[in-house]
Amino acid sequence: MSSTQAAQIGQKRTALHATGLSLLILSFQTLGIIYSDIGTSPLYVLNGIWSSSGPAPSKEDVIGGVSAIIWSLTLLPLIKYVLICLHFGTHEGEGGTFALFQGLYPPKSFETAPTRDSMNVGMKPSRLNLKAPPKLRWTLLVWSLFGTSLTMADGVLTAAVSVTSAVGGIAVAKPSVSSDVVGISCAFLVALFLSQPFGTARLASIFAPITCLWLLLLAVTGIINITSFAGIFRAFDPSRAIMYFVRTGNYDTLAGVLLAVTGCEALFANLGQFNMLSIQISFGSFVYPSLVLAYLGQGSKLIVNGDYIITNVFYTSIPGAHNGPLFWIMYVFAILATLIASQAMITASFSLVQQLVNMQSLPPFRMVHTSEKVQGQVYIPVVNWLLMIGTIVLVAAFNNATKLTNAYGFAVATVMFSTTVLIAFQMRYIKHLPVIVALAFFLFFGFLDGLFWGAALKKVPDGAWVPLMIGLVLLSLMVFWNWSKGLENRFDGATRRHLSHFIVTSEKDTGILQPSLPSAGSESGDDASILALEPSEKTVDSNATFYCVVPASSGGELLETRRELGRLPVLAVFHKMGHERGVPYSFTGFIRQWPALPSFAIFLSVNVLPIGHVTLEDRYVVEKIESVPGFYGVSYYLGFREEFEMQVDEIVKRISALEARINPNGAPALIKQLNAVASTSTHVVPHYDISSKGVNAGKLSPVVNWIRAFLLEDIYRRLTVMFPETVNWLASADEIIHVGINARI
């Protein structure tokens, strides 16, 4: 780990606090990251309500439609997300559906983590006392994963819709190139995806100024356009929106109104990068008024010059000549703004996949970290190329922005409804608010989300089937991987053994070595012993000869044999996932294949906590195992937004400090020996040969077992080979030993 990275991780992760000028700067920075999606909605919203190929709406219909847009922006992004949802971030300020679900159902490893304050990472004990009903865990997990899968589908659609809408404006000024819009859009998108391996750090520095200028242009052109029909201000009356739907009975147009709030989920999901107050200031004082002015201005021009404006509401409503300076300024900034929106969604997809991989909801795809300074900036090649292929196919298949918008709204509506459900549960079980408050929130905002979702659902035959199909495919993969990985982890936990059950110090010893608990100097001061060792007064000499107890049978009688074990001059790291006690199966398999003990061994337990980040101080907890000299248990904690970056050097430092405290006289020689072998550490991981064990399903057992075997042996086993757990480890391939283990799960 570089010094910069160490400093970055070592900082305490709490909700970001800023005041004065720092708060204003932070609020400005939110513009380029959070609002690029919702800020480009004026490009296509009104044409999403009224088709560019149809007749212009009447004056009252325009006022009613704009009123629906304004009140949708007010009720959902402003009130629901900015004023309510932002209060439901984690202690360290993380937001999003994953943070909500992990707060409701924290992993068991988090509940049994060492109890010292620093390891609790600020979570109050009361938060773990009242949990969401266990029976609803899988239901809410599937619902959360479905919303998450649609968010990734949203990443494909955002790039396709926004870029195509922006590029389409060239047909207004240059009708002769209207047939080239799809080709030009694809060229922009290909260039965007090809640039991903270089990272976004440099480009991100200019995101905020461009988005700020874009929103200012929207506000200015909106004000100019409003002067053509000041009566548009009647749209602030919510009854105009209600009367519009009552009068026309056209419920389908609500799917077009929904496009005005695309990207509002980003206000909550990006909470960890900023803070609540900065988002509230930037949206309430700048983004919201700019968008409202833009829609009011477009509505005014549509009322005055309906038949001409309806062909492309955004570009034809730009003040001045349609080939003049302001038009081309708006065109250039529209392209830049949509590329920023696309970049933001692509980056969000990378971050989301990283979280899913850490939570074992997706295979461990290879990740490339593109920044030495910014933690969490990752590039995932397979995701990037799949996004690029999906986006290009959508642009080419739908052929115009109007058809694409039909597909766009469904994903947005489902994600919003998913957040509403999880926030309602958080109100009751995390914030401990009265049931009536959680119910009122769910009924009111669930009703609004349901209206939009229903309207988007009606668009399934017209294009909304695309995100639904993408979402269901991703959901199936996530649920399947959760189920399969869960079976493998349960097998791993069930096959762990006490170290004392097969390592003894005397060839004639018929009893079992009873090692002592970790010493008082252990870094974890509780009873959560990583290896579940039993107490004893017996002291084990460092020069003792060790034997491995090997089961054997003779004449039908179960016997035990003992094999002498040598000591290898290496530092071996035996990996295991989760909190289960006992030595990992990789260790017992290693002893069977190579009858020798390493001079130093680390039993590494990896625990993903329901928070985004863990400080360097709290990342490793070291225990000394007294039964075998040179053996240690280490718990490695990381947040769900972090990459697997276990550093052996850091663990060696912790071990050295521990030995220096509990054994001042003998520590120098041991530490010297440890440092000598630490530079060539060897990682030992189990390689499971998966097979399916039969389950009793009554008369359906043959069918169920055939399906189960097909899923586990033909699909899951092959995926584990294609995407090995070690793909993102810092150790090189020649430092990793795979121990083959037959696993019937």
**CB of 188 closer than 8 Å to CB of 334:** no
Query: Which stretch, 163-177, 294-308, 685-699, has highest mean pLDDT?
Result: 294-308
What pLDDT score was predicted for residue 131?
63
What pLDDT score was predicted for residue 117?
27
Q: Left, alpha or beta for 376 (phi > 0: left; psi -120 to 50: alpha)? A: left
Res. 2: pLDDT tops 50:
no
Res. 112: pLDDT tops 80:
no
Tokens (6 digits) for 298: 């477009």
Question: Considering only 481-485, 540-544, 710-714, which range has the smallest mean pLDDT?
Answer: 540-544
What pLDDT score was predicted for residue 729?
67
Neighbouring CB atoms inside 10 A of 699's CB total 7
What pLDDT score was predicted for residue 129?
42
The label of the residue with tokens 């038949």 reads: 307
CA distance 76 to 453: 14
Which domains, ranges and CATH numbers included, belong to the chain?
Answer: 3-113+126-485 (1.20.1740.10), 567-744 (no CATH)
CA distances (Å), origin 351, targets 104, 243, 328, 367: 21, 43, 34, 10
pLDDT in tens, 404-425: 666 677 778 888 898 999 999 9
Name the DSSP letter for residue 433: -
Res. 526: pLDDT tops 70:
no
Question: pTM above the 0.85 mark?
Answer: no
What pLDDT score was predicted for residue 109?
47
Could you tell me the pLDDT band of residue 579, with boundaries at 50, 70 and 90? low
What pLDDT score was predicted for residue 182?
81
What pLDDT score was predicted for residue 740?
78
What pLDDT score was predicted for residue 441?
96
Segment 87-115 shows an average pLDDT of 64
pLDDT in tens, 532-562: 333 333 445 666 778 777 665 445 454 456 7
DSSP string, 658-705: HHHHH-TTTHHHHHHHHHHHHTT-EEEEEEEEEEPPP---GGGHHHHH
Amino acid present at 244: Y
